[in-house]
């Protein structure tokens, strides 16, 4: 299995259940979902002209559409070569569920890593049984993809971006259509830290005993 990787870096997880955890992020290149508020739109297209060496990809200091091809073993080797100490690995995008992460999961889990995947829920998941699945359902997006019932059933965490009441209503409809597992964690994440969105998310989280995800990394001004 060969993965198209936009970047690999070590930082603090700023969202969801694992907020505050030292983490290694592996960002995939390629996503057709088309979320208007996406802050990584440079990862959407897979342009052959933007393929670069692994060394150049790792040395990027600013966001770009450049990407490199790595095997599962090469990704693990990269962690060691970079001297990363974190044992929590976050697969993000782009849309990670477009490819099979089981080969990487097998290598990582054998070495004591915990794997988390962040997905829109619009593609069939190809992950290990131990992988923590964070599903951020993308509803009525320009790409036209639908959230899948099997993704909802597999999710460990549902992290929903909100700005207005209609986003809460859309999540309610999705939860009614595809009820998640009883122990799933549901969190609301204000889009772009807008005050009205944050106030709405806080109110609903308190009413329903859900969690608030505030994108801590943006407040800390880290990647």
Which residues sit in the known binding site for [4Fe-4S] cluster?
31, 35, 38
- The annotated binding site is made up of 12-14, 27, 31, 35, 37-40, 92, 94, 136-138
- 94: cis peptide before it, omega within 30°? yes
**Closest alpha carbon to 17 in 189, 169, 151:** 189
**Residues forming beta bridges with residue 190, ordered by sequence position:** 162
Strands of the 114-119 sheet, one edge to the other? 68-71, 2-12, 22-28, 88-92, 114-119, 132-135, 157-162, 185-190, 211-212
Helix 102-110 to helix 72-82 angle (10° resolution) is: 40
- Extract the annotated binding site for S-adenosyl-L-methionine: 37-39, 94, 136-138
Annotated binding site for Mg(2+): 40
Strand partners, 24: 10, 89
CA 80 to chain centre: 23
Binding residues for substrate: 12-14, 27, 92
183: left (phi over 0), alpha (psi -120 to 50) or beta: alpha
133, 115 in Cβ contact below 8 A?
A: no
Strand (E) or helix (H) holding 185: strand 185-190
Give the torsion sign (CA, 62, 64, 67, 72).
positive
């Amino acid at each position: 299995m060969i993965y198209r990787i936009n970047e690999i870096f070590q930082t603090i997880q700023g969202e969801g259940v694992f907020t505050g955890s030292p983490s290694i992020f592996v960002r995939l290149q390629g996503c057709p979902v088309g979320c208007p508020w996406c802050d990584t739109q440079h990862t959407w297209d897979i342009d052959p002209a933007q393929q670069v060496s692994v060394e150049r990809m790792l040395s990027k200091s600013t966001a770009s559409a450049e990407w490199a091809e790595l095997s599962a073993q090469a990704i693990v080797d990269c962690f060691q070569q970079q001297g990363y100490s974190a044992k929590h690995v976050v697969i993000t995008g782009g849309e990670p569920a477009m490819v099979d992460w089981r080969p990487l999961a097998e290598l990582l889990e054998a070495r004591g890593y915990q794997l988390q995947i962040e997905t829109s829920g619009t593609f069939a998941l190809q992950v290990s049984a131990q992988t923590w699945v964070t599903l951020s359902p993308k509803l009525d997006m320009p790409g036209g993809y639908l959230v899948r019932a099997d993704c909802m059933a597999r999710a460990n965490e549902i992290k929903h971006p909100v700005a207005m009441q209609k986003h809460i209503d859309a999540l309610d409809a999705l939860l009614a259509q595809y009820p998640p597992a009883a122990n799933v964690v549901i969190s609301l994440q204000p889009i772009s830290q807008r005050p009205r969105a944050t106030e709405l998310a806080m109110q609903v989280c308190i009413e329903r005993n859900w969690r608030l995800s505030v994108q801590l990394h943006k407040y800390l001004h880290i990647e």
